[in-house]
Chains A and B, each alone.
Chain A
Amino acid sequence: MGGYFLRRLVVLVPLLFGVTAITFALLVLAPGDPVVFLIPPEQRGLADVALMRHQLGLDRPLPAQYVSMMADMVTGRLRSFGDRRPTTRQVGDALPTTLILTGTSLALTVALALPIAVLSARRPYSPLDHAATLFSLLGISLPSFWFGLVLIFIFTAQLGLLPASGIRPTGAEGYSPGLIWRYLLMPTVVQALSILPVLVRYARSSLLDQLAQDYVRVARSKGLTERMVLLKHVARNSLIPVVTILALLIPFLLSGSVVVETIFALPGLGRLAVNAALSRDYPSVLTTTTLAGILVVLSNLLADLGYFYLDPRVRDA
């Protein structure tokens, strides 16, 4: 078991190498000189572009640039082209917001998806099930930016109940729940709604599959209450595919965070990554892509751990 996870972690190294190499190649192939983004267009004629390129190391051959950037990244000395801060610091500032938001969104999704799925599966094709289907369709069709703005319009502009920007009050420090929860509420709902329908549909069909199994008939014939059958026996077995989907949804949430972070002015990883890409900030892009790679692999690992916990067959194998 331990060996399995160790192997997975070791595979991460060449994987990340490939990710960064391809990212770097794409970056340098894309038209656009990073220095252009450091000089306002009105100022172009006044700046010493060659000197700036030299100071960023852009006048060296591409392989040399890549190797030195990677070496600097490993040792934590890589600095962003833009603000010249270490990229690890940039990421360190942005990561908590993104992780917290992803965590709360996942928690809310699971908290809502499982009850809805159970209610739907218990009486398939009942009005309640149809309502859930309709709700899922709506949820999956609502674009995040639109839904986010609607929430802001209602809860901030009209009712004045919730703040619409930032992660905490201006001047406050840290991420203590009491400080940030009001700021997280709307973004969490938006993020959760973007994946909730997927999870509900998967959980529902997985529950229906299980409900048709022989062991369910046995459990019922033993005289167990329907509640016990559902929650004790069926739910646990049907969670296995749900866990897989959940792990696959984490990268989806991360990429969706760009939109939510922009609308709600959250200082997160999504915006950092997109701004870095748009401004050809090679060091920042390489660092954020590497981190995204790590997060995706880790979420898959988490899914494996989930199987391990839920499925005795995997545990014993």
Chain B
Amino acid sequence: MKQRREEAEETLSHGDIDEAEETLSHGGTSMKRFVSVLIVGLVLASLWEMPAWSQRPSQAVIAIWGLPIRVLGSNEAVTGYVSLLINDSLTAVDGAGTVEGRLAEKYPASPDGKTYVITLRDAKFQDGTPVTARDVKFTYGLYLHPKYPTTPPALLEIAGARDYKAGKAVSVTGITVVNPRTVRFILDRPYPFFYEQIGGQPVLPEHALANVDVTRLQEAAFTRKPIGAGPYRLTDWREKESMTFDAFPGYWKGAPTLGRVVLKLIPEDATVMAELRAGNIDAGRILPDAYSSFRDDARVTVLRVPGDTYYWFAPNVRLPIFQDVRVRQAMAYAINREEMLRALYGGLGTPAQTPIHPSLWQFAKTVKGPTYDPAKAKQLLAEAGWAPGPDGMLQKGGQRFKVKYGFLAGKEYQNQALLIQQYLRAVGMDVEVQAFERGDFFSRYFTPGGPIELVGIAWFNLLFPVQSELEQNFKSTGDVAQIIGYRSPEMDRLLDQAILTRDRTRQKAVYEQIQQLVAQDVPRILTIRPDVIWGVRKTVTLPAGIGSLRGFFGSVPGWTAR
């Protein structure tokens, strides 16, 4: 049946071409015929495509703004979503940040928190071979290989890992294969984030990668045809076009309900929304402007969750002008976050109160960042010795409050920069804005020692566990903290304390203190967290409890499609 349809389609298109040629040879006298054939063709084509569409097997086509360039060795958001489909890990954290055993059936910690004996389940890789303790040891050895450029830092907590990474040892002493189903991890010190940060790495098959040269890992066939222990096999990968995943029947949890997932690359948001309306895709991102019209669309379910990205701008704390915390606080009070959300995102979003994603247990609801209060901002500035000069702009000891705000070139950043400029000028700060092209921004500007005065950017949450995210951003040894020159002994102490605390309730209290400190000490001014809005055709049913974009992609195996 399908075959015949395709043939018919082909005949018709040849007919069109003939018509077109005829038109040419008759000097345009049969324009009308040409157009009418075109229209008839369109109508016919749409008629026979429709039944084919509804006869699809259980599958969902998800429009995505970019496809990964690699499936191994990158923590890019999209790569992470793809990895959720292909791979599985020993342990994982669920949407709320709670630990669950995945490939690990039992995973007790020793009383001193340094030894973890992990019993594997009866799980299989997608080529049918069982997941063994050897595979686990091999995987961690690969991630810690001296030539592996993106080693997750938490893995260095494993005993002997630093020596191995530095090329001073032939293997990681802290990982032992006890028997084919049991593997033992020994850490250098008690580390309560073992399950999130160490256990959460994708487990890879030794037999497929043992002979691969790590320096040329990205060129290996495995990176195009990966074999994981996750719910889906990557069965087709078209460059700049699509990735197709088929349910893996041997998945330890049982085959996922959704038989096939296609990630289709569509760069333009307007195109995504049109395709969603026409039913040519099953799920796609919706822009805030179109939110209400999609909500009225009976064919589409609209999912709205707190965004995985939040926006912020930061002063270079090394500059004398920003060393006074009152100046930083004043900037935080000067920003009208509600108005930014209204003007730029149709009000769909929340002011960013803390740097932690609201879906996680570490997120402290009680912490409230500074809210819009220009009078308070002016008062703080006055206390810091800044008084308005003749032109209304602040001055102190003959020095004008004049700073440059650099941002990554792009519409969203620019819109925000212009609003922030207005807000800061309104309290007397003379702010100039400047856009930097991406390469320039990250190689020359947003670097330690770069010419930053104020810098605006957005950050993805949920790419890493919270602890490493916070360390990177706020600990004095962290990359971002060094770029903006932030160092706070109090912050360092709290972050260390979080690692040493093993009880969840007490840990939560420490994280609350950390978030409170970010709000008070203002190493960066958190602005807004726009919501992520996705439209899903009613033919697809999503499980409940999706709290983030990452959670949305993680929920794919549980989708059902009619």
Interface residues, chain A, with chain B CB atoms under 8 Å away: 30-33, 36-49, 51-52, 55, 79, 82-85, 90, 93-94, 107-108, 110-111, 114-116, 118-119, 149, 152-153, 155-167, 170-171, 176-179, 181-182, 185, 227, 230-231, 262-265, 267, 271-272, 275, 278, 280
Contact = CB atoms under 8 A, between A and B. Distances in A.
B264 A44 contact: no
Nearest to B39: A161
B271 interface: yes
A177 B17 CA distance: 11
Contacts of B464: 42-43
A263 B21 CA distance: 29
Nearest to A262: B267
Given A31-B443, A45-B479, A116 B28 contact: yes
B28 A119 contact: yes
Name the 10 nearest CB pairs between A and B, nearest first: A32-B439, A45-B479, A115-B28, A178-B10, A157-B274, A84-B218, A267-B240, A31-B440, A33-B443, A265-B266
Given A42-B464, A178-B13, A160 B279 contact: yes
Contact of B149 (A41, A48, A108): A48
A156 B280 contact: yes
Contacts of B240: 93-94, 267, 271-272, 275
Interface size class of B (residues with CB under 8 A): 35 or more
Residue among B14, B74, B149 facing the most chain A CB atoms (10 A cut-off):
B149
Given A83-B69, A156-B278, A265-B265, A31 B74 contact: no
Contacts of A33: 439, 442-443
Given A79-B219, A157-B274, A165 B264 contact: yes
Nearest to B236: A171
B7 interface: yes
Interface string B447-468: 0000000000101100110001
Interface stretch (B41-49, B171-179, B187-195): B41-49
B540 interface: no
Nearest to B49: A182
Nearest to B70: A83
B238 to A, nearest CB: 7
A156 B275 contact: yes
Given A32-B439, A44-B442, A267-B239, A164 B76 contact: no
Interface in B22-71: 23-24, 27-29, 31, 42-43, 45-46, 49, 61, 63, 69-70
Contact of B24 (A115, A152, A161): A115
A47 B149 contact: yes
22 contacts: A33-B442, A43-B464, A46-B153, A108-B20, A110-B24, A111-B21, A111-B23, A119-B28, A155-B42, A157-B273, A162-B46, A164-B275, A164-B278, A164-B280, A165-B266, A165-B271, A170-B264, A171-B244, A178-B7, A263-B268, A267-B239, A280-B439
A32 B267 CA distance: 23
B271 A263 contact: yes
B324 interface: no
Most buried by A among B13, B77, B265, B444: B13
Question: A84, A158, A167, A227: which has the most chain B beta carbons within 10 Å?
Answer: A84
